[in-house]
Amino acid sequence: MQAAPSALPAPDRVLDTSGTLCPWPIVETARAVKAMADGAVLLVVATDAGIATDMPMWCKATRHEHLATWRDGPAWKSLVRKRARRP
């Protein structure tokens, strides 16, 4: 089993999307991030390998910060930091 990359922040919230397929991990991520404070970090756990490409693309499109995505046994994990809103 692969450990989380070092020097990454601890998540403020964990979202487990295991067992769902695209687009649901991203749909649930968007819903969770919307409810979080600016700068908060979300850990998304997924079993759909598509998250490895979908999460970085979603973060780029929404301007949230993609911190990392890695494989952890049968699961994929992604860390996302919610961007701060502009005043």
If pLDDT is split at 50, 70 and 90, which confidence band does 1 have? very low
Active site residue 59: no
Tens digits of per-residue pLDDT, 54-77?
Answer: 999 999 999 999 999 999 999 999
Q: Which of 12, 13, 16, 22 is catalytic?
A: 22
Given this model, what pLDDT does residue 54 score? 97
Given this model, what pLDDT does residue 84 score? 87
Residues above pLDDT 90, as percent of the chain: 87
Annotate the chain with three-state secondary structure.
CCCCCCCCCCCCEEEECCCCCCCHHHHHHHHHHHCCCCCCEEEEEECCCCHHHHHHHHHHHHCCEEEEEEEECCEEEEEEECCCCCC
For range 18-45, the mean pLDDT: 97
Task: List the domains of the chain with CATH numbers.
Answer: 13-81 (3.30.110.40)
